[in-house]
Structure 1
Amino acid sequence: MTKNVLITGTSTGVGFESAILFAKNNYKVYATMRNLKKSEKLKQKIQEENLNIEILPLDVTKIDSIESTVRTIIEKDGKIDVLVNNAGAGFAKTTEQASEEEIRWVTDVNYHGVVFCTQAVLPYMRKQKSGQIISITSVGGLVGQPFNELYCGAKFAVEGFMEGLATYVSDAFNIKITCVEPGGIATEFMTSAIEKSATEGQFATGEYLPIFERYMAGNQKRATESKDQVYQTGLEVAEVVFGIAQNENPPLRIRTSKWAEDFCELKTKADPDGTKLVKQITDSFL
C-alpha cells in the first residue's frame, strides 16, 4: 500500500525538495504552503515529471487551516503515514528591540505551528497504531546564538516538545519521532537577508550595533570561506529527511552535516541521537 506524507512549507527549500524526493520514491505527497501563489515552481515540476503530489493550502499559524487540510487528507486516503513539520522562518533581532508582534510571530511560525500540526495528526496515527512525525528544527534548537535568541527559543521548544512526546507515543502507539537539525542552508533568501542586514543594520541599533556588525561579518566570512563545509543545499537536507522516513528505528535527533555535528558536540556528545535519554526518561516515569 502506498504511504502518504504531509509536508508543510513546500514552496521553496527543504520542503520543496522533500516533496519531490518523496514523490519520486512512490509516496503520495500532500505538499502544503500558506500562499498558493508560490506553488508555480512545484506545479511545473509535478507536470514535467508526472509526480504524485497534491498541493493544498495550509497556514501553520492558523489552527482552522491545519485542521481543514488534515481532514481533507483523511477524507481522501483515510490515513496520514508521515508528517514533516518543515514550515518555519528565521529571525535575527535583539530581544530588547523586537516588537511584541514579532516575538509572537516567530514563536507561532516555528513552535506553535509544529505543535498544532502534530496535534491534528496524532488521533489518526494513534488509531492506526503507526505513524512518523519528523520536525525540521536547527542546530539553533540545541545551541543558542547571538541575535537569534528568539528563533533559538522557539526551536528549543520544538526539541523539548518532540522529546517529551517521544517518551510515550513511540512505544504505546508506534509513532516514531525525529528532530532533523541542519546547520546553514544555502538559499537565495539567506544570501539576500545577510547582505541586507549587514548593509542596513536593521536588526540592531545603539549599543547593540557594534556587536551586530561583528556578528554579520562572521556570517559573511563563513558564507564565503567555508560555504561547502557550513551550508547545505535544500536537497541535501531533504535526503536526510527521506532517509529517516525509511528507518525502522529512527533516532530522536540527527544533525545533517559534519559541521552541524561539530557545532553541537558539547550538547550531544553523551547521547548523540537522543535515544539513551528517551529510554532513561521512559524507564523512570513509565
Structure 2
Amino acid sequence: MTKNVLITGTSTGVGFESAILFAKNNYKVYATMRNLEKSEKLKQKIQEENLNIEILPLDVTKIDSIESAVKTIIEKDGKIDVLVNNAGAGFAKTTEQASEEEIKWVTDVNYHGVVFCTQAVLPYMRKQKSGQIISITSVGGLVGQPFNELYCGAKFAVEGFMEGLAAYVTDAFNIKITCVEPGGIATEFMTSAIEKSATEGQFATGEYLPIFERYMAGNQKRANEGKEQVYQTGLEVAEVILDISENENPPLRIRTSKWAEDFCELKTKADPDGTKLVKQITDSFL
C-alpha cells in the first residue's frame, strides 16, 4: 500500500528536494508551503516527471491552516503515514537588538509550527497504530552558536519536544520519532544572506559589531573555501530523511554529515543516536 507523506516548507531547499525524492520512491506526497505563488518550480517538476505530488497551502504559524491541510489529506486518503516537519527559518541577531516581534516570529516558525503540525496528525497516527514524525532541526538544536541564540533556542525546544514525545508514543502507538540535524546547507538563500549580512552589518551594531564581523568572516571562509566539508546540498539531506522514513527502528536523532557529527561530538558521544536516553527516560518514568 502506498504511504502518504506530509512535508512542510516545500517551495525550496530540503523540502523541495524531499518532496521530489519521496515521490520518486513511490510515496504519495502532500507538499505544503505558506505561499502557493512559490510553487511554480515544483509544479514544473511534477509535470515533467509525472510525480505523485499534491501541493497544498499550509502556514505553520497558523493553526487553522495546519488543521485545514491535515483535514484535506484525511478526507482524500484517510491516513497520514509520515509527517516531515521541515518548514523553518534562520535568524541571526543579538538578543538585545532583536524586537519582540522578531523573537515571537523565530519561535513560531521554528518551534510552535512543529508542535502544532505534530498535534494535528497525532490523533490519526494513534488510531491507526502507526506513523512517523521526522523533524528537521539542526546542529543548532544541540550546540548554541553566537548571534543564533534565538534560532538555537527554538531548535533546542524542538529537540526536547521530540525527545519527550518519543518516550511514550513509540511504544504505546508505534509512532516513530526522529530529529534530523544538518549542519550548513548550501543554497542560494544561504549565500545571499551571508553576503548581505556581511556588507550591511544589519544584525549587530555598536559594541556587538566587531564580534559580529569576526563571526561573518568565519562564515564566509567556510562558504568559500570549505564548502565541500561543511555544506551539504538539499538533496543530500533529503536522502537522509528518506532513509529514516524507511528504517524500521529509526534513531531519535541523526546528524547528516561528518562535519555535523564532529561539531556535535561533545554533546552526542555517549549516545549518538539518542536511543539509550529514550530507554532511560522510559524506564525511569513509565
- Determine the C-alpha separation between the residues in 2 that align with 1:224 and 1:196: 15
Output one character per residue of 1:197-229: Cα deviation in whole Å (capped at 9) or x when no partner. 000000000000000000000000111111001
What secondary structure does 1:89 align onto? coil
**Shift, 1:3, TM fit:** 0.4
- Determine the C-alpha separation between the residues in 1 that align with 2:19 and 2:153: 28
Output one character per residue of 1:163-215: Cα deviation in whole Å (capped at 9) or x when no partner. 00000000000000000000000000000000000000000000000000000
Residues 47-66 of structure 1: pairs in structure 2 closer than 5 A: 47-66=47-66
What secondary structure does 2:119 align onto? helix
- Determine the C-alpha separation between the residues in 1 that align with 2:108 and 2:224: 32
TM-score, reference length from structure 1:
1.00
> What root-mean-square deviation, in Å, do the aligned CA atoms of Structure 1 and Structure 2 show?
0.2
Residues 7-22 of structure 1: pairs in structure 2 closer than 5 A: 7-22=7-22
- After the TM superposition, list the runs of 4 or more consecutive aligned residues in structure 1 that deviate by more than 2 angstroms: none
**Shift, 1:269, TM fit:** 0.2
- Determine the C-alpha separation between the residues in 2 that align with 1:279 and 1:243: 23
**Structure 1 counterpart of 2:138:** 138
**Structure 1 counterpart of 2:205:** 205
What secondary structure does 1:177 align onto? strand
**Shift, 1:41, TM fit:** 0.2
- Determine the C-alpha separation between the residues in 2 that align with 1:180 and 1:164: 16
**Shift, 1:84, TM fit:** 0.1
**Shift, 1:4, TM fit:** 0.4
- Determine the C-alpha separation between the residues in 2 that align with 1:10 and 1:224: 27
- Determine the C-alpha separation between the residues in 2 that align with 1:61 and 1:281: 30
**Shift, 1:161, TM fit:** 0.1
- Determine the C-alpha separation between the residues in 2 that align with 1:156 and 1:118: 16
Question: Alignment length, in residue pairs?
Answer: 286
Output one character per residue of 1:241-275: Cα deviation in whole Å (capped at 9) or x when no partner. 00000000000000000000000000000000000
**Structure 1 counterpart of 2:125:** 125
What secondary structure does 1:150 align onto? helix
What secondary structure does 2:87 align onto? coil
What secondary structure does 1:93 align onto? coil
TM-score, reference length from structure 2:
1.00
Output one character per residue of 1:108-152: Cα deviation in whole Å (capped at 9) or x when no partner. 000000000000000000000000000000000000000000000
**Shift, 1:235, TM fit:** 0.1
**Shift, 1:239, TM fit:** 0.1
**Shift, 1:47, TM fit:** 0.1
What secondary structure does 1:251 align onto? coil
What secondary structure does 1:203 align onto? coil
- Determine the C-alpha separation between the residues in 1 that align with 2:54 and 2:232: 27
**Shift, 1:46, TM fit:** 0.1
**Shift, 1:87, TM fit:** 0.1
2:233 matched to 1:233?
Answer: yes
**Shift, 1:90, TM fit:** 0.1
- Determine the C-alpha separation between the residues in 1 that align with 2:274 and 2:46: 36
Residues 244-259 of structure 1: pairs in structure 2 closer than 5 A: 244-259=244-259
Consecutive unaligned residues of structure 2, counting only runs of 5 or more, are none
